[in-house]
């Protein structure tokens, strides 16, 4: 676990006058799972969107597998093909069936022939217990199923890095487990993942490292044992106490 998958250096990002990210430095090794925790508005989603080049950054660099992807003139479409992102609100395409959702990227962005894309999609759908749903439209699925389809859609691009943005927050409590299970499986397989989450149980059990984001900066980072058992910063402690009160740890 020495190869660097992702390196973020001095990343700044503002929306108008509001500075949302104030100098983020973060490194992910290949096969590493890093969880971003922090209060609402601390900048977790913005950080993930910057890594996927969905938001232009104001200062700093992002280096992916040795290539500076924030350099001017970078082909953003090519970069995005190698990074999967899954959103809190699923964002499935409502006018396409499950299998069409999953094969759109491989067919149009990777240029795979339809049959090959379908074979790849069907295999992934079967692996995550969604084979029976392949021809259904998203509005016929439960939230948990929709989010699993969204994960499969990202995986179908065979990304080397997966970004997950609070993928269980929009789900009913009884549906959270099935999605977390998928994430555990991916982590066990060695997928490199940067995960914004409120699921402290998941962070504690699965993450190699946890970063506490506060006001657009990483205030504290360490192994789950360090962060959860003995946080150094008072603000981290406060945040974790509130999480415990809410019954999420």
Partner 1 sequence: MLIAFASTVVFFGTLAFLITRAPGWDNFKAYFFDWELYRESLPEIASAFLLNVKIFLIAESIILVTALALAILRSLPGPVFFPIRALAIVYADLFRGLPTILVILMLGFGMPALGVEGIPLDPVFWAVVALVLVYTAYVSEVYRAGIESVHPSQDAAARSLGLTRFQSLRHVVVPQAIRRVIPPLLNDFIGLQKDTALVSTLGVVEVLRQSQIIEAARFNGTPYLVAATLFVALTIPLARFTDWLVARDRKRRLAAGVAQ
Name the site residues for partner 1 (rule: CB under 8 A).
52, 54, 77-78, 80-81, 83-85, 87, 89, 91-95, 104-105, 108-110, 139, 153-154, 157
Under the binding rule (CB under 6 A), the answer on residue 2 touching ligand ATP is: no
CA 119/CA 115 separation, integer angstroms? 6
Out of 5, 11, 44, 92, the only residue in the binding site for ligand ATP (CB under 6 A) is: 44
Binds ligand ATP by CB under 6 A, chosen from 28, 43, 202, 206: 43
- Out of 6, 33, 37, 46, which residue is the one contacting ligand ATP (CB under 6 A)? 46
20 binds, among Mg ion, partner 1, ligand ATP, none (CB under 5 to 8 A by kind): ligand ATP
**In 10 A of CB 111, how many CB atoms?**
8
Question: Quick one: which of 211, 187, 239 has its CA closest to 47?
Answer: 211
Q: Min. distance of Cβ 5 from ligand ATP in angstroms?
A: 22
Strand order in 33-37's β-sheet? Answer: 83-86, 161-165, 193-196, 33-37, 209-214, 217-222
Return the closest-CA partner of residue 186 out of 168, 161, 212. Answer: 161
92's contact among partner 1, Mg ion, ligand ATP, none, with CB below 5 to 8 A by partner kind, is: partner 1
Q: How far apart are CA 158 and CA 244, in angstroms?
A: 36
Q: How many other CB atoms are there within 10 angstroms of residue 32's CB atom?
A: 21
CB neighbourhood size of 190 (10 A): 12
Decide if residue 45 touches Mg ion (CB under 5 A): yes
Kindly indicate which of the ranges 37-45, 56-64, 184-192, 222-230 contains the residues binding Mg ion, using the contact rule CB under 5 A.
37-45
Phi then psi for residue 176, to 5 deg, are -65, -40
**Which residues sit at the interface with ligand ATP, rule CB under 6 A?**
15, 18, 20, 38, 40-46, 166
């Amino acid at each position: 676990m020495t190869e660097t998958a992702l390196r973020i250096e001095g990343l700044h990002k503002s929306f108008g006058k509001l500075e949302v990210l104030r100098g983020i430095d973060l490194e992910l090794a290949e096969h590493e799972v890093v969880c971003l925790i922090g209060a609402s508005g601390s900048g977790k989603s913005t950080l993930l969107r910057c890594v996927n080049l969905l938001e232009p950054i104001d200062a700093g660099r992002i280096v992916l597998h040795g290539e500076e992807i924030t350099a001017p003139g970078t082909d953003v479409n090519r970069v995005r093909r190698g990074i999967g992102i899954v959103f809190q609100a699923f964002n499935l395409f409502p006018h396409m069936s499950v299998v069409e959702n999953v094969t759109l990227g491989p067919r149009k962005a990777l240029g795979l022939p339809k049959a090959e894309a379908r074979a790849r999609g069907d295999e992934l759908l079967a692996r995550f217990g969604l084979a029976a749903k392949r021809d259904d439209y998203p509005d016929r699925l439960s939230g948990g199923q929709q989010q699993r389809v969204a994960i499969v859609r990202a995986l179908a691009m065979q990304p080397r890095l997966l970004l997950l943005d609070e993928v269980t927050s929009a789900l009913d409590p009884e549906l959270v487990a099935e999605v977390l299970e998928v994430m555990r499986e991916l982590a066990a397989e060695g997928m490199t993942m940067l995960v914004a989450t409120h699921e402290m149980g998941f962070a504690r059990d699965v993450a190699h490292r946890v970063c506490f984001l506060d006001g657009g900066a990483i205030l504290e980072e360490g192994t789950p044992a360090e962060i959860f058992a003995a946080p150094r910063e008072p603000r981290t402690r406060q945040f974790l106490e509130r999480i415990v009160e809410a019954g999420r740890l």
